Structure 1
Amino acid sequence: MPRRHRYLLALLLAVLVPVALGYLWRTPQPSVPELPPHSYAKALRQAHEGQPGAARVLYQQLQRDDLAPIRRAALYAELPNYPSPQALKLARLDLEHDDPMVRRAAIAAVRRLLPAAQRSLVLGPLLEDDEQSVRFAAVDALLGLDPDAIGLYFGPLQAALEQYQQTLEQQPEDAAAQVHLARLYMHEQAFDAAAQALARSLEVAPDNLDALATQVRLLEAQGQHDASRAVLAKALALRPDSAFLQHELGLWLSRHAQQEYALLALARAVELEPDNNDYRYTLALTLHELEQVDAAQKQLEAVLSREPANRRARVLLIQYWKETGQLQNVQVLLAELERQNPDDPYLQQGL
């Protein structure tokens, strides 16, 4: 063998032998147990359908750092049905996510997870976020809180609110934007500006039912109750089979202490749109106010049969069953809730 080759072979051995010995003598590291594998789609479906273990797999997905922003944001639409300290912790972490879409989704979740008195401490800093859409989402989440609840963030909220209004003012051809602008002005009791925004919305989209409903509330806020009902009556004359308008009529009658008549309108809304669980929930509340507890319970049972993850309906039905002493039914609902989310704060209350 030529001398040069012998030198190269010796050099190679000098490098490889210590590496091999180090590999053989190294201290074995304990293996890290992996979480049970759950696909994103399966976890999202499990949470949406309120299946057992839904909270656990939902939290696992939110702990991942490889999800696309749109997928991560979709998880937050389900999170408010599974409240817990862990849920709030995950949402708070994503308030600082790099993607604005995720931050907005986390804001919406925190808005439903926290009571009003605690919301501003968590969401207040986002009123000065670098992204305009995130600042505006924070405004929407904090609007309506009293000054004491807003606390130190009153100034930033007003500044962001003015920016929001200016931005929407520049979108006169967007009917939805003008309705939203009207609501922002109503919050400040700037009723003339709100009326102008609604007029622009209805000019662009005369059949915009959301604008009509907002117009009703604007007139009520100004004490024009007869005029507000006239707007509803005119709209209903043109669209008697509109579940939305029947529901709005029911809400108007409820606000004016006409519960018996409200019940008729709310029931009609459910008849026209039986799959709308929000309408059924409102109907259940009205039935309960009129001491028709059995009928109220049936409406909530119907909601849960369609949407087992609906925590709001589940908790209300538990309360109604407690009132009537149906503790066996209470236990069944609590057991289902525990299988969905064993850390749900409501479970600490027991029977």
Structure 2
Amino acid sequence: MPKRSRYLIALLLILAIPGVIGYLWRAPKPVPSSLPPQSYAKALRQAHEGLPGAARVLYQQLQRNDLPPIRRAALYAELPHYPSPQALKLAQQDLDHGDPLVRRAAITSIRRLLPPAQRSLVLGPLLEDDDQNVRFAVVDALLGLDPDAIGLYFRPLQAALEQYQQALEQRPDDAEAQVHLARLYLHEQDYPQAEAALQRSLALAPQDLQALATRVRLLERQGQHDASREVLGKALALRPDSAFLQYELGLWLTRHDQQEYALLAFSRAVELEPDNADYRYTLAVTLHDLEQVEAAQKQLETLLDRQPANRRARVLLIRYWKETGQLQNVQVLLAELERQNPDDPYLQQGL
């Protein structure tokens, strides 16, 4: 081959190499993803911690159709902190989900999203669900509503309630089931049956706190206030460091118009279990009722520091700040709420 031809071929190869390399290294065009940009775990953490944009990513995850039922159900534990028309719509859609676990989770969420008067209209149709556990979840969600609120679903509710009781009666060796059965009978004011269920539960687990608390309520309902106090007192003597029993003592004292003493019990419960949101919230309400407004505000501030997503505490603290005319603090809380969930109905009320 002539020397000139060899030089020409070499030159052509040199010119071609950058093009080949560029072609080989060129990044392929991204394939559009059907999944939201936020990962499930990140979105769930964002909602749980009340971070900015929490509602948006939570709704985004609930719009997915590829989540396993257990993951989808976990999202509904957070949804009541982020109410909006869209939140309710998403939960209602999952009342028709193919998996009973998801349907039950949606029921529990709607129970907290809707006021009693509207609850039966949304949940009532599921009293005839094919899955009995779904039907029983609806009973739990509607129990305690007055007949007017239940409306057309009164008879289906009674039928499902009887099925629920029969199913629990068939589990005499399950202490937890017997406590739940006792509560159902207590609601129906069937005190002998409630007592029998509690006896079965306490025979299986003599120190079960839920059973003891239900027994206190049962005795009170029958006008046996001294006996109810004695049951609670004996339990506390055995377990004075039980936050649950201290809290139940506070509730008992509140029901008997002894809020000053109830305050001590609630304070002790919070001291023993500082991360319990219900205990601290109740303590704040009791302080406010006793006109210790500043102390009540501090308890709610502490609760929000620990649980920024706790909407119930946030709304109550806003109300308490408004009462004392501290509108700057109100604006701060409202701004944080707007960052979490710009569609929250409470934001429409303004100052």
- TM normalised by structure 1 equals 0.90
Deviation at 1:299, TM superposition (A): 0.4
Per the alignment, do residues 33 and 39 of structure 1 end up closer, same or farther by CA in structure 2, a change over 3 Å counting?
Answer: closer
Give distance in 2, aligned partners of 1:268 and 1:231. Answer: 19
Identity of matched residues, %: 82
Q: Deviations over 1:162-211 (max 9, x none)?
A: 00000000101111100000000011100000000001000000110000
Partner of 1:126 in structure 2?
Answer: 126
Partner of 1:241 in structure 2?
Answer: 241
Deviation at 1:33, TM superposition (A): 10
Asked whether the 8 Å contact 2:338–2:347 carries over to 1, the reply is yes
Gaps spanning 5+ residues in structure 2: where? 1-30
Deviation at 1:35, TM superposition (A): 7.8
Within 5 A, what are the aligned runs for 1:1-351? Answer: 37-351=37-351
The alignment partner of 2:96 has SS state of coil
Q: Deviations over 1:200-251 (max 9, x none)?
A: 0000001100000000001111111111111000100111111110000000
Partner of 2:20 in structure 1?
Answer: none
Deviation at 1:277, TM superposition (A): 1.4
Partner of 1:25 in structure 2?
Answer: none
Deviation at 1:32, TM superposition (A): 9.1
Per the alignment, do residues 36 and 95 of structure 1 end up closer, same or farther by CA in structure 2, a change over 3 Å counting?
Answer: closer
Matched pairs, number = 321
Q: Deviations over 1:26-45 (max 9, x none)?
A: xxxxx999786000000000
The alignment partner of 2:64 has SS state of coil
Q: Deviations over 1:324-345 (max 9, x none)?
A: 0010000000000000000000
Give distance in 1, aligned partners of 2:224 and 2:202. Answer: 20
Q: Deviations over 1:238-266 (max 9, x none)?
A: 11111110000000000111000000111
Amino acid of the structure 1 residue aligned with 2:113: L
- TM normalised by structure 2 equals 0.90
Asked whether the 8 Å contact 2:127–2:157 carries over to 1, the reply is yes
Gaps spanning 5+ residues in structure 1: where? 1-30
Give distance in 2, aligned partners of 1:273 and 1:254. Answer: 20
Asked whether the 8 Å contact 2:94–2:106 carries over to 1, the reply is yes
Per the alignment, do residues 35 and 348 of structure 1 end up closer, same or farther by CA in structure 2, a change over 3 Å counting?
Answer: farther
Asked whether the 8 Å contact 2:36–2:60 carries over to 1, the reply is no
The alignment partner of 1:77 has SS state of coil
Partner of 1:14 in structure 2?
Answer: none
Question: How large is the Cα RMSD of the aligned pairs?
Answer: 1.2
Give distance in 2, aligned partners of 1:199 and 1:36. Answer: 52
Q: Deviations over 1:287-324 (max 9, x none)?
A: 00000000000100010000000000000000000000
Give distance in 2, aligned partners of 1:33 and 1:179. Answer: 48
Give distance in 2, aligned partners of 1:148 and 1:230. Answer: 37
Q: Deviations over 1:114-165 (max 9, x none)?
A: 0000000000000000001000000000000000000000010000000000
Amino acid of the structure 2 residue aligned with 1:332: V
Give distance in 2, aligned partners of 1:284 and 1:39. Answer: 36
| 4+ aligned runs moved over 6 Å, structure 1 | 31-35
